[in-house]
Structure 1
């Protein structure tokens, strides 16, 4: 009898449709059935409203999909259509093996301590409030009986809070901004498991080597009971960052050449892209995009639905030519538009053309933000790497980029490449032309009658949290606005939240704090002058932070207003809880 290995993971949800991802232990058909309560007039509502409600009966909504196989693992992505808007629908998952044995329920699990998983469809009212929670960088939490070396997991803690308030308000979307798994920093248990299948004294050592080992990472991370329930009941979108493949992935053309010269990198990068497509990317797509996806169609029509060969060929194309694949995507949530930007695989690495995203990605981004601007009030730009950094770090990265580009000669270029890797100088500031292009695009969007109420750049990566507001000069040569001065145009914020479950050395905490100070800014300008780096066309100030710890940010978007909350996972007595660190309105100064 077929069993559920991983999932269900609730991914895409809109007012009338949803997708649910799952992994099973053999070839089978996966069915998802959601239930709403039908009143006497034929309307539907939450099944939890049955008690004391009007007479009627249950209304059932379902979808099914046959599994496909990749490297011996079986996956399904089930689409549910025709769901009633504005409704909480508990659902169950059943499987029926191709080998026979009948249909069996596999979710919810027997004797589960968690409430039933639900699909909560948003209202058809585009002006309805939207809640988005986001963060990045999550080491898999250790088993409950082991001591957690980095403190309580913010996502685990969120799950416990939501489970304790099953009818309460919850995020309409969970945005995971990178490092969902750590291919280069595995747990002791995974290291021991890998050591039983190969020699860890040979490269890549105690790092992930192939697709099978990637599946172990996802099983360890998503199999955590709290995370498994959370992902089954809160819709999510995801994008990769470097540790999903390897630290400093695509930091420079010289780095990439060195990796490709090894005898282990090819299998690592292909397995990383294949596993990302299966576990993360597919769920980012809408049902319409899934129906039009040629790779998914090829895999589902392959003999025995074995997509290994087709997916590997796809990964080979993506690795050889990043412009052949688009990992970026768009999600509209009522009157909020979210654009998730691939700032890892879409890079142009040649030093004379260096860019965070290739020209095709830039065109795609411009098209998405300009399409029906009157249709959204809030614009969210998701990029795993922060656009606006502490001033000292920004100037260091811009200076280093100038050195690597030959601004101070060949000797300094070699030093710059060494420093780039040693200090992880590879954020937007390390790609000055891309930094300026994004600044110009945002400056254009924030002006005019169709300008959004807010523009926010959501990021992670740097293992701390902060809020920074971008500023542009007054029109007509009026100079730069002073702090607290009201200026026209949409407010623009860098919202950085990391880690969900990780740590940061004390020395780096000092560096991040110092980077925002006046002394840090003055030191940064010295570096910039040495590299002949011009001042950026945008300035920014820190409005909050830096904050350290395992944490999550949440945006509550209502009409033309936006409120940001930062919560940190702490231990209270014998239980973990989310403690509010700050709450602020995002609005014009």
Structure 2
């Protein structure tokens, strides 16, 4: 007699807006997710509010139960089950967003780079959950959601990606769809990570380690990818198999399928989604349009979450990060948000305003200077004010203020960087900073850097009707690492 399926991962709250949410989970077998909502903490008024499509093996038995018709700025208690029986208690809670364009004070958390077991075992997310509870009754400081902006798993770290269970003590770099799914099951099964995201709605995007270290396509035809030569040589001399340092197209597609199952399917609708074939796999041919980018709003603040990876090409002089289609929709979003939203966050997995004079892989925006400068020029020439970059990746946190655009039409911006959640840190970041030298940035000021593991918090308020944006980093003990910075 077969056992009933159980939830393997989740639940978590994705794609939250003023009237809807995507409740996500992954099961260990076929079934259907059922979403239950109530307004009472004891869940005595719970009712079924939505259900997923049948969970399929083709999607790793991951799914979304969408719920709509919700009231704005309202707290709901929720549960996700695999049966039609009403649960006795909720899994967690969330509060819907205000009407787009309505000024409301709020805070959110963000960060990147989570590799549990390497330096700690998820305690940073326990600290984040403690912080969430501590500020729950403060309207301005209450955490409304979190942004996880890359390296939510380290599929290429054979020591800590959880694949030793399948392959023995030597472990393995993830190379197949099953491998990538097992990495997510290991990392996201961390009790502290899972508990934090039960009550904190999440918006996510990928960086490199969801596939492999510093990976990119080798040509615009997107037939194969590559990782840096030192990774290849290092793995070769450590006795890794060839499949662990080669990056054929099928491996990239497997990693992106796992990304979709765990991070993409519960996000807001992609602004221009990539084409898929009849099996639901990304096409990603040379001229296939689209990207994994999306946008959302919270009151008077607008967010554009970039996809800096799936379209990235780097081979000789052929260097592209966003691709033509993503660049077009980013420009349209900036122009549309210019006067409608006084606060604009551009979420990028890698830093724009913190180049390093030692950057051998050229993996950040400084390695794609033409596109970086095009973005800085566009913001300045169109006088788009109130822009804040949110970045990760560097394994050190920072805040940088600058004025960007051509001389004579520059606008002030900030970059806030929060990384790592839990990973080895870059102790030399402060010494490696190099200002942008292209002439499209001036008055560049690195306000602080820190290399201690942390999570970041941004607070947006509207004193006297004008927006104020502050940024602070918190360590595993929950203590602030510096005074709040911003404007």
Q: TM-score range by the shorter chain?
A: 0.7 to 0.9
Structure 1 contact 11–283 (Cα < 8 Å) conserved: yes
Matched, 1:181 2:163: no
Matched, 1:118 2:93: yes
Give the paired residue count.
461
Taking the aligned partners of 1:91 and 1:229, their CA distance within structure 2 comes to 14
Report deviation, 1:59: 7.4
Matched, 1:34 2:4: no
Which residue does 1:380 correspond to in 2? 345
Which residue does 1:273 correspond to in 2? 256
SS at match of 2:186: helix
Report deviation, 1:26: 2.3
Which residue does 1:236 correspond to in 2? 202
Q: CA RMSD in A?
A: 3.4
Which residue does 1:578 correspond to in 2? 478
Report deviation, 1:252: 5.6
Report deviation, 1:186: 3.6
Matched, 1:565 2:471: yes
2:310 to 327, 342, 345: 345
Q: TM-score, normalised by structure 2?
A: 0.84
Taking the aligned partners of 1:243 and 1:130, their CA distance within structure 2 comes to 31
Gaps of 5+ in 1: 37-46, 51-56, 97-101, 109-115, 143-147, 299-308, 398-422, 477-487, 525-533, 571-576
SS at match of 2:390: strand
Taking the aligned partners of 2:353 and 2:97, their CA distance within structure 1 comes to 32
Report deviation, 1:545: 1.9
Which residue does 2:103 correspond to in 1? 127
Report deviation, 1:67: 2.7
Matched, 1:68 2:55: yes
Alignment CA distance shift 1:175-1:284 (3 Å): same
Which residue does 1:548 correspond to in 2? 451
Matches within 5 A, 1:48-197: 48=41, 58=45, 60=47, 62-71=49-58, 73-96=60-83, 103=85, 105=87, 108=90, 116-124=91-99, 126-140=102-116, 142=117, 149-150=119-120, 153-163=123-133, 170-188=142-160, 190-196=162-168
Matches within 5 A, 1:177-576: 177-188=149-160, 190-196=162-168, 206-250=172-216, 253=219, 265-266=247-248, 267-286=250-269, 310-311=279-280, 314-315=281-282, 317-318=283-284, 320-321=285-286, 323-390=288-355, 392-393=356-357, 423-445=360-382, 447=383, 451-452=384-385, 454-472=386-404, 490-504=411-425, 508-510=426-428, 512-516=429-433, 535-559=438-462, 560-570=466-476
Alignment CA distance shift 1:229-1:440 (3 Å): same
Report deviation, 1:20: 0.5
SS at match of 1:284: coil
Taking the aligned partners of 1:189 and 1:500, their CA distance within structure 2 comes to 16
Alignment CA distance shift 1:257-1:178 (3 Å): closer
Taking the aligned partners of 2:56 and 2:320, their CA distance within structure 1 comes to 36
Gaps of 5+ in 2: 233-241
Taking the aligned partners of 1:106 and 1:23, their CA distance within structure 2 comes to 21
Alignment CA distance shift 1:386-1:278 (3 Å): same
Q: Which has the higher helix share?
A: 1
Taking the aligned partners of 2:416 and 2:136, their CA distance within structure 1 comes to 28
Alignment CA distance shift 1:74-1:191 (3 Å): closer
Q: TM-score, normalised by structure 1?
A: 0.70
Report deviation, 1:494: 1.5
Taking the aligned partners of 2:77 and 2:301, their CA distance within structure 1 comes to 26
Report deviation, 1:220: 1.6
Mean Cα deviation higher: 6-15 or 554-563 = 554-563
Taking the aligned partners of 1:386 and 1:289, their CA distance within structure 2 comes to 22
Taking the aligned partners of 2:411 and 2:42, their CA distance within structure 1 comes to 41
Structure 2 contact 122–190 (Cα < 8 Å) conserved: no
